[in-house]
Chains A and B, each alone.
Chain A
Amino acid sequence: MAREEFEIEISSSGKVTVRTVGIKGPACLDFADLFAQIIGKEESRELTHEYYETQTVTQRHLEQKLKR
């Protein structure tokens, strides 16, 4: 399984940018929702090629995180 990581940038004005790395398929959107839930309002969202690949194990991990 690819390593699942997030790169988070908090600018000096407080704006937050989150990039998911190594998370394939729709699970990356669920993680994006998780960060939106933590921080606040979503301004924009961009999907890259990995979104269109599949990753079944990630989904299982995410469900565990969201349950907490």
Chain B
Amino acid sequence: MSSVIVLTPLIIAGWPAITSAVTAAVSTMGYALCKETGARRHLLADAKTKAEIEIENSEILEAAAGTGEELIVEKDGIRAVFSRDARGALKVCMEGVGYSKQELRRLGQELIGRVTQQYVYHKMITELRERKLAVVGEEVAKDRTIKLRVRNW
């Protein structure tokens, strides 16, 4: 081994890439995509505990198709609403019945981690392909870490 580097990802993407990452992440966590949006969603949300988390190091690119978008996922009485905040960062608002703010925040952080992981995975695969670096091994560990083995031919 000659070097080990640890990196914190920056999420800089348009809404379609965020949608793909959220969809891929939640499918393995038991969340389901929800079609309900707008006034009804906010009316329901008023009666619940909420925790809002802004994803550090993120920027959702403002494009014709994308601003004002939101993505809602649900599981066991918890609702997570992904959107772009006023500063352009990705945020998630966790809402739930029977959960404390701390529990919602913890679940939100877990969700954000997995969305970030999926974003990084897809970005990495795309960039490696462009540079003609071959993925020769891929596995998901028990702790959900994705392990890739890449070869420079």
Chain A interfacial positions (CB closer than 8 Å to B): 3-25, 28-29, 31-32, 34-36, 38-51, 53, 61, 65, 68
Contacts and interface: CB of A to CB of B under 8 A. Distances in A.
Per DSSP, are chain A's interface residues mostly helix, strand or loop, or mixed?
Answer: mixed
A10 B10 contact: no
Given A13-B113, A14-B119, A19-B1, A40 B149 contact: no
A13 B68 CA distance: 26
A66 to B, nearest CB: 9
Interface string B1-17: 11111111110000000
A10 B145 contact: yes
Given A8-B147, A8-B150, A14-B120, A42 B4 contact: no
A3 B150 CA distance: 11
